[in-house]
């Protein structure tokens, strides 16, 4: 996965990891799209987006020359990378770890939903710079409905984590007026900050509670959707972030992690007979939303899903 000269860009956009240096001499003559991250070599976004673009090109030749690439951009290099991407005409950009919040002061415009989430994962080119959007909340909501048959509006949500992904999920839950939002996190300060920050987006019908992951607080819902937005489970030998065996009631579990495909939390949920799904569907739907923002066209979600499942193994 070495960096290659940009002339190779059209040949193998799924495998090649480009760098800031490649950007200075970028030569792809079609419409360039990209994901920026660090690390990014593992990203399956190029496979997903290029599969969708190939399908879209069958009905609209405009998309024949759209290609999606991946760039390894260390955190300090984002302020240099963004004007370069703009100068080279990159039309759409996805941002992943660690760029989703660092990009905020670099934007020309921000979508109100992304502003509420305090994070941006999608950029669309304007003449004056980039406009930022966040498609993670939409991706999560759509995935939960598709995989577990649950709408965020209809059940209490227990959200594990208080980082960037949890914040986007929490704002989405409030936007959809979920009846109860239970925020659980290890670090109490981060938990309190998240609870306080999102309180202003709460409608009258939603109740927000915060709890320590080790506790099972009084009044804990007996029928809820549990969403893991911690990074616990990314390593195959990670423990459960939350002990499900203490629960008595009806629960379903959505884990945002998709690699490994089954975390300890998911295994535990499955053993307890709870419906469960991993985060691959969220990745697919956030990607589909990004591509829809860029193209304005109908996006073949199935093509993205097939490519993602093929790459994720």
| Residues tagged active-site | 100
Say if CB 156 and CB 173 are below 8 A apart. no
Question: Per rule CB under 6 A, is residue 187 in the interface with ligand NAP?
Answer: yes
Whichever of 21 and 215 has its CB closer to ligand NAP, that residue is 215
User: Does residue 171 touch ligand NAP according to CB under 6 A?
Assistant: no
Q: Which stretch binds ligand NAP (CB under 6 A): 4-12, 104-112, 157-165, 244-252?
A: 157-165
The site that binds ligand NAP (CB under 6 A) totals a number of residues, namely 27
DSSP labels for 86-120? Answer: HHTT--EEEE-TT-TTTTGGG-SEE-HHHHHHT--
Read out DSSP for 159-199? Answer: EE--SHHHHHHHHHHHHTT-SEEEEEESSHHHHHHHHHHHG
Interface residue with ligand NAP, options 63, 68, 258, 294 (CB under 6 A) = 258
* Distance, CA of 208 to CA of 116 (rounded, Å): 17
Across the strands, what pairs with 67? 32
Tell me if 186 contacts ligand NAP by CB under 6 A: yes
> Which parts of 198-227 interact with ligand NAP (CB under 6 A)?
213
As to burial, measured by CB atoms within 10 angstroms (0-12 exposed, 13-18 middle, 19+ buried), residue 15 is middle
257 binds ligand NAP (CB under 6 A): yes
303 binds ligand NAP (CB under 6 A): no
Query: By CB under 6 A, is residue 179 in contact with ligand NAP?
Result: no
Nearer to ligand NAP, 221 or 287 (CB): 287
- Looking up tokens 């998309």, which residue turns up? 63
The answer to whether 277 contacts ligand NAP (rule: CB under 6 A) is no
Q: Which residues lie near ligand NAP (CB under 6 A)?
A: 97, 136, 139, 161-166, 185-187, 190, 213, 229-232, 234, 241, 256-258, 279, 282-283, 286
């Amino acid at each position: 996965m070495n960096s290659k000269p940009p002339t190779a860009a059209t040949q193998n956009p799924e495998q090649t990891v480009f760098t800031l240096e490649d950007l200075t001499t970028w030569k792809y003559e079609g419409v360039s799209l990209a994901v920026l991250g660090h690390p990014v070599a593992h990203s399956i976004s190029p496979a997903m987006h290029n599969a969708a673009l190939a399908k879209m090109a069958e009905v609209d030749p405009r998309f024949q020359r759209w290609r999606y690439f991946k760039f390894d951009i260390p955190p300090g290099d984002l302020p240099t990378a963004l004007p370069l991407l703009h100068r080279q005409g990159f039309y759409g950009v996805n941002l992943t770890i660690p760029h989703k919040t660092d990009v905020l002061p670099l934007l020309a415009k921000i979508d109100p939903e992304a502003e509420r989430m305090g994070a941006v994962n999608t950029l669309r080119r304007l003449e004056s710079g980039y406009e930022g959007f966040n498609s993670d909340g939409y991706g999560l909501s759509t995935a939960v409905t598709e995989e577990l048959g649950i709408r965020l509006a209809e059940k209490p949500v227990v959200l594990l984590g208080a980082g960037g992904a949890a914040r986007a999920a929490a704002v989405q839950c409030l936007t959809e007026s979920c009846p109860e939002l239970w925020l659980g996190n290890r670090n109490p300060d981060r938990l309190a900050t998240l609870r306080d920050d999102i309180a202003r987006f709460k409608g009258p019908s939603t109740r927000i509670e915060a709890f320590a992951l080790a506790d099972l607080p009084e009044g804990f819902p007996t029928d809820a959707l549990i969403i893991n937005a911690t990074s616990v489970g990314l390593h195959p030998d990670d423990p459960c972030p939350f002990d499900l065996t203490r629960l008595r009631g009806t629960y379903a579990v959505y884990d945002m992690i998709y690699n490994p495909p089954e975390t300890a939390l998911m295994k535990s949920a499955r053993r307890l007979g709870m419906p469960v799904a991993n985060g691959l569907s969220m990745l697919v739907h956030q990607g589909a939303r990004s591509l829809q923002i860029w193209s304005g066209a109908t996006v073949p979600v199935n093509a993205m899903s097939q490519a993602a499942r093929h790459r994720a193994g």
